[in-house]
Amino acid sequence: MKKTFLKIYPMKLHQYLTGVFFLFTIFFMLPNLSSAAPSVISPTPVNVSDGQDITISGLAFGTGPNVALFDDFESGNVGQTLKIGSGSASLGQWDGFDGGLNLQYNDVYKRNGNKSLWIDNTTNDGGARSNLATTNLETFFSFWAYVPSDKWWPGANSETDWGMANWKIAWLKDDNNSNAGSSDLYFPAYLGHTGPPTYLTAVVSGNNAPLDASYNNPIIKRGEWFNLSGWVKGRTDGTGEIKLSEMTASAGIVKQVDLNSVNTIQAADATHTAAPYYFNTFILNGFARTGANDAVYFDDVYVATGVNAQARVEIGNAATYSSSTNLTILPTTSWSANSITTKVRQGSFPNGQAYLYVTDASGNVNTTGYSINFVPTIATVSGTIGDGQSVTIAGSGFGATGPEVLFFDNFENGTVGQNINTGAGSATIGEWNLLGVVSPKYTDLFSQSGSKAFMATSDPLVEGNDNGLILLPSITELAVSFWVMVPAGDNVPGEDGGIPNWKVTWFDTDKTWGTPYQYAGDDDVVVPALLGLNNWYPTTGNMSPYQPAEYTTGPNVPFLTKGQWKRVWYWFKGGSNLDGAFKFWKLDNGGVNAVIGQDNVTTMLAGNHWNYMSINAYTRQPLSSSPLQRQLFDDLYIATGSSAQARVEIGNAATYATSTNLTLATVNSWSDVAVSATVRQGSFTNGQTAYLYVFDKDGNVNAMGFPVTFGSAVGDVTPPSAPSGLSVL
């Protein structure tokens, strides 16, 4: 498993790459964790994956918590009773049941991962018990809970009569003391009231507790997962503390109880003669009054103990902790004054940006989250890495849906010198529907992959019509990739007349079929375009509402070097109300060059769509036939649908960004944990080491490529383990 180090130095982020191992450096300013919240200077986002080990290094972290219990319920079989004893939880263990046995692993309702814990409160009124340290006085807990919208609060008599509802959702007890008057704390108990209107009151108290705190505005509601997090410092001398927060996606974090300088555990008196008392038992779903229509669900149960129980690491979905509406807690495996080790848990977070938070033992948290980026993870690859061979990629975070691969052609099935085929079977995947007046042909004079390519030779007597057209299924989103070249010594279209005009690809709406070339004049999009000497535009169009600036200087010029194949790819999302997007890349000697990436832009007129694509769409006629004016294409790929950007690629470097050669694999099937794809070898040779990448629909890609070798069969191969014991001085 790859390990990432988040290391703190006083100036800037350093990134080191060793094999398949990343070392990241960040700076946490922690002047005094006992009294001041951590301050984070955020560098470039760090790519992380579910299950990845990370080490956060810094200053004055103090001592961390004793993580007594964590369970995400992924280890059990659906329908199986909750396991008890050693190995029953992800960390720690469940030690028994409290009030009933109908607690089962479930996959119908789950907050994170694939499973949760279902407790049937129609037949039992209790939950699951975990034993804590015998003399524990301080406890922090966090968990997610859910009551389906078609169920009632535990104990409610009906949809409208909540008068008997009684749900002690978390209960701390001193179960090692046999005295009947021992201390306890339900944290909280949700009690129902009969309306109108019906409502809940929350109470933090106990059968034998020295405090009784209540609030009338719990934000929890049926049909929405909610998070509870609480901390208690058990004291009998007036120095106790207690905190309780609720969180939902709709309401965010609400601190409901925050008491200081109180008694929080029962002291000795005439009744409580066995004091001192402790909190040495945690009961999830401590008491839930049975009812005819009751069921509750739990996920990601975390309990920490000791004087530093509040200290923790979490990931949130907002740049400030208090603004987060989703949090996932990361159980720590080691914690010292300058180093925290934990395992990334993606929880219900989608791929993309999130924020890391460190809370110290006093409850202080960095107010600005450290930006991280969730990316897909490849666990294994099986199959033969060879042209036309199918491989299966297993992992996580791929996303529920993949691209609809409409078209791919490497031109290997054609006859050299003949026109590009049209109709069924004319392309490797999909088909060519129409050719221009000057028909492009198969050639073996030049190729990027295999032995053949698409070649158009412009005719001095014909303006713009040496193209191939592909029918699209009335789409608003597409991803396109191809290799393109102008041979050395040839002119680019229109160069000999001094005013080049080359629209490389062009998609439009309402094409009139049967006409070799026709611009419909409505929502046409060109990607890219050469309009004048060295005036390259990433996209343009005669009637397109989206017209980003040309690029004529800097690292993107020249766009092409004659005699060299250039890989170009783009993703275009149509949107008529600042909800469109456009990304455009090209492959340079230094790696992947992201030329432009814009979101929240208007890229399409309202109500429109695109239904045809023209390749080598428009070429200004040459003045003569010498020098030649030829345009070549290879490995043309088109994907559509709302996940068009999702894809599988193979590169020649251990990171996608530094790859200088790339080839797309065409997807056969897709799920969040498994992708089947057909390898397209491109210009890679057998025996060459390469790296496999999976992109989700939002363009997130695994941070490190999965190593493969062309021409070799692999079977459930896992990536090499990360080096250990490394440091940067």
From CA 703, how far away is CA 49, in angstroms rounded? Answer: 8
720 pLDDT band, cuts 50/70/90, is very low
Six token digits for residue 468: 């191939």
Q: Give the H or E element holding residue 301.
A: strand 296-305
43 pLDDT band, cuts 50/70/90, is very low
pLDDT for 28 equals 33
Q: What percent of the chain has pLDDT over 90?
A: 66
From CA 76, how far away is CA 113, in angstroms rounded? Answer: 12
pLDDT for 557 equals 57
pLDDT for 180 equals 53
Write the CA distances from 63 to 91, 138, 306, 342, 369, integer angstroms.
Answer: 19, 14, 10, 14, 21
pLDDT for 272 equals 78
Residue 264 pLDDT more than 90?
yes
At residue 554, the 3 state secondary structure works out as: helix
Residue-wise pLDDT tens digits, 484-532: 999 999 999 999 988 899 999 999 886 554 444 445 556 789 999 998 8
32 pLDDT band, cuts 50/70/90, is very low
Residue identified by tokens 């964790």 is: 33
Residue 387 pLDDT more than 80?
yes
Residue-wise pLDDT tens digits, 637-652: 999 999 999 999 999 9
Residue-wise pLDDT tens digits, 330-377: 999 999 877 888 999 998 998 999 999 999 999 989 878 888 999 999
Q: What are phi and psi of 91, to 5 degrees?
A: -135, 140
**Would you tell me how many other CB atoms lie within 10 Å of the CB of residue 238?**
10
Q: Environment class of residue 149 by beta-carbon count within 10 Å: exposed (0-12), middle (13-18) or buried (19+)?
A: exposed
Residue 24 pLDDT more than 70?
no
Write the CA distances from 114 to 28, 76, 82, 399, 626, integer angstroms.
Answer: 34, 11, 15, 14, 65
Query: Of the ranges 511-520, 530-539, 665-674, which one carries the lowest mean pLDDT score?
Result: 511-520
Mean pLDDT across the stretch 292-321?
A: 95
DSSP lists the bridge partners of residue 690 as 708
312 pLDDT band, cuts 50/70/90, is very high
| Mean per-residue pLDDT over the chain, rounded | 87
Please tell me the pTM assigned to this model: 0.80
* Beta strands across the sheet bearing 662-670: 706-709, 689-695, 647-651, 662-670, 674-678, 390-396, 377-384, 713-717
Mean pLDDT across the stretch 254-259?
A: 95
Query: Of the ranges 100-104, 244-248, 478-482, 700-704, which one carries the lowest mean pLDDT score?
Result: 100-104
pLDDT for 179 equals 52
**Would you tell me how many other CB atoms lie within 10 Å of the CB of residue 58?**
22
